[in-house]
Chain A
Amino acid sequence: VFQTSDDLVEALLGAIEIDCYDLFGFSIVCNSAHISLDVARRVKAQSTNAVILAGGPYGTKISSEVLCAFPFIDGVAVGEGEKTIQAILSAHEEGTRCLRVPGVVTREGNNCATQIINDMDCLPFIGNNESYYEALDAVREIVPEGAATPLEATRGCPLKCSFCSTRQVWGASVRRKSARKLVDEMDRISARNGQTFFSLIGDNVGVPRAPFIRFCNEMAQLNERYTWGCSLKLDKLEKSHIPIMYEAGCRAIFVGLESASQATLDQVNKTASIRKELEMVQACIDFGMHVETSFIIGFPWETEEDIWDTYRLHCEMLQAGAFRSQVSLLSPIPGTQIVSDSKIIFDGLQSYLTDDGLRLSQGHLDWIEEFPDLFSHFGHYETPNMSRITLKALRDASSQFASIHATQRKKNPENSGNHGRALGATYPYGRKALETSAQG
């Protein structure tokens, strides 16, 4: 059991045979960026001639800043990495300067034309890697029931939500695996571990609508035994699409509603109609889908009334039959548009993204202080119209309320979940949002 972030760094270093390699690649996501970067620093210190490459979502938008801040990083692979890492390894084998390939940014100059995979059916099967099954087993030890098996389905998102980094990493063009490819992968995984419930990974599997519905129709033809869940933006679909999705095997959907305030959704470029989303959420619940909703509080312009409205809508979702719901404090992800627009405060209040239960070591705290733009996700936005007390209380109360529902559902499955209440029946919020949007 680790107590501090340093403990984790030490453990990871202990698992690397540093002397056996001369090129190290780190796939970095922001919530563990301080850990990955510190491991990279220590590897470079031990093996000064080794090439240290940073990759993953974290560095894509802030590659130059990462190179400037951390001299032990030799290059940053931006965007998708499959083609880039092949080019790097080929160059390395040939003895040429391996980081001078497309997709890698170095101090000598940008070479950041990202290497996009257009045909996702060409990607190698993830189940060829034994560590995939080891990771699945590890998750099932923690979540023994109902854990879906993750399987990548799409990349890219055309939306421009200012708080999100998906488009920056994967681009605006949505690419998807074919139904045949996915069913084949499901067959192979299921033959290995018997799992039949999958989570189709992609930030917005349902857009654009026409290819998604085509995909569902193909799945309905090919898929006889698997069920799946995915992340969707429901206001781009119609109620008539729900049976098509169900027929294809879809049983669970994750919907990022984000806010009860249409004005906030507009301000973050969400291009969503909260009224339409709520109608569709209710229709999906009524159809028998497991619906998980997600909200964000802590936008810089929000008032206390705004976040109470979002909190009430979260509660209402659970009481209207949502399987789960969550409210997160807005995390300023480095490089996203909203970060450049707003002031960030580092006072210990932060989103779940950085809540890994480890106490930050002094060295990592020093990094956060020295490079606030690279570690903005450890802070929260200044909210002049809202007290920190309320922000913190509603962040914590939302997870408590969800836990109470989950606990009660386990204790009394007959009398939980969908209480038969339409949105707006318990709190005025659902009704209020519907009426406000209709007037708007």
Chain B
Amino acid sequence: MASENIDKMMLALQENGVLVAELQLVFSKIEAAAGVDLTKEEKREFVAELAKIASKEGPLIIWL
């Protein structure tokens, strides 16, 4: 069960598809810079790595 704030974040994405695309665009740019095409499992692994190194106040990156 997601917290209230996370629910609000998801609602914001539901309301604005361009935000979803911009989020995805960032990941595609990182993939292109690295010269890779990640599999679904690798995407999950990458997001987990990002979460580990995120600062307390840093952005939470969700890659569905």
Contacts and interface: CB of A to CB of B under 8 A. Distances in A.
A404 B10 contact: yes
Contacts, number: 61
A325 to B, nearest CB: 10
Given A314-B17, A315-B18, A404-B14, A394 B37 contact: no
B20 interface: yes
A393 B25 contact: yes
Given A349-B37, A389-B28, A404 B21 contact: no
Contacts of A314: 17
Interface in A397-415: 397, 400-401, 403-405, 407-408
Contact of B24 (A319, A397, A404, A427): A397
Contact of B20 (A388, A401, A408, A426): A401
B25 A404 contact: no
B64 to A, nearest CB: 5
Interface residues of B, number: 19
Interface in A59-83: none
A406 B42 CA distance: 24
Contacts of A318: 17
Contacts of B25: 389-390, 393, 397
Contact of A312 (B14, B18, B27): B18
Nearest to B26: A393
A198 interface: no
Given A312-B17, A405-B14, 6 more contacts: A315-B18, A349-B37, A392-B28, A397-B25, A401-B20, A401-B21
Q: Which 5 A-B pairs have the closest CB atoms?
A: A315-B17, A397-B24, A393-B28, A397-B21, A393-B25
16 contacts: A319-B15, A319-B17, A348-B37, A390-B25, A393-B25, A394-B21, A396-B24, A397-B17, A397-B20, A397-B23, A400-B24, A401-B17, A404-B64, A407-B10, A408-B14, A427-B17
